[in-house]
Amino acid sequence: MKKITMVSLLFAGLMIVSCSNTNGNKAVSGLSDPQPEVQTASAVPDLPEGEEGKVIMLTKATFIKKVWNYEKNPDQWVYEGDKPCIIDFYADWCKPCKMVAPIMDQLAAEYKGKIYVYKIDTQVERELAQVFNVTSIPRVLFVPKNGEPQMSVGALPKPTFVQAINEVLLVH
């Protein structure tokens, strides 16, 4: 809990730009607690050869297989992955999302073998955006292998992502 509070305070202290899907307002970044209870499944996501170390696009079908089957477990978080992940909710028209994209590419390469870095296009995968109540973007979900996922809002700088990875995702 101490680590979650520390990371929450770190994110809350930064004023970050984001795009709103509804009215274009700017938002202050911060982590929020997810609604569902958390458990971990033992399934391992299968990645095509060469995808590890790269940002991986998710559709609803791949999200259900690799992250969380919310249709089967609507009231309980059951992570399907074998290692922590980051999920970047974005849209092609969003300028702050374009600022985050190269950071996600760098993080995928730098943390290859330790975490997965996923992207979800909120304009294509509207249902996934609704499941997580994504109303402004970029929005990044930090999903530890065990424990509760946490959401950040806005275009965070790379050092903040690195700190969150090290303090939320790679904690043993």
Supply the pLDDT for residue 18.
Answer: 59
Catalytic residue set: 94, 97
Supply the pLDDT for residue 7.
Answer: 41
**Rounded to 5°, angle at Cα 89 from 39 and 163:** 70
Q: Which residues contact 40 (CB under 8 A, 6 or more apart)?
A: 78, 79, 145, 146
Q: What is the mean pLDDT of each run of 10 residues along the chain (172 residues)?
A: 41 48 36 37 43 91 97 94 97 97 97 97 97 96 94 96 96 77
CATH label of the domain that carries residue 96: 3.40.30.10
Structural domain including 33 reads: 2-169
Structural domains in the chain (count): 1
Supply the pLDDT for residue 31.
Answer: 42
**pTM, rounded to two decimals:** 0.75
Supply the pLDDT for residue 33.
Answer: 38
Supply the pLDDT for residue 52.
Answer: 77
Supply the pLDDT for residue 51.
Answer: 65
Structure tokens at 8: 């929450």
Supply the pLDDT for residue 37.
Answer: 37
Structure tokens at 105: 């590419």
Supply the pLDDT for residue 2.
Answer: 42
Supply the pLDDT for residue 48.
Answer: 46
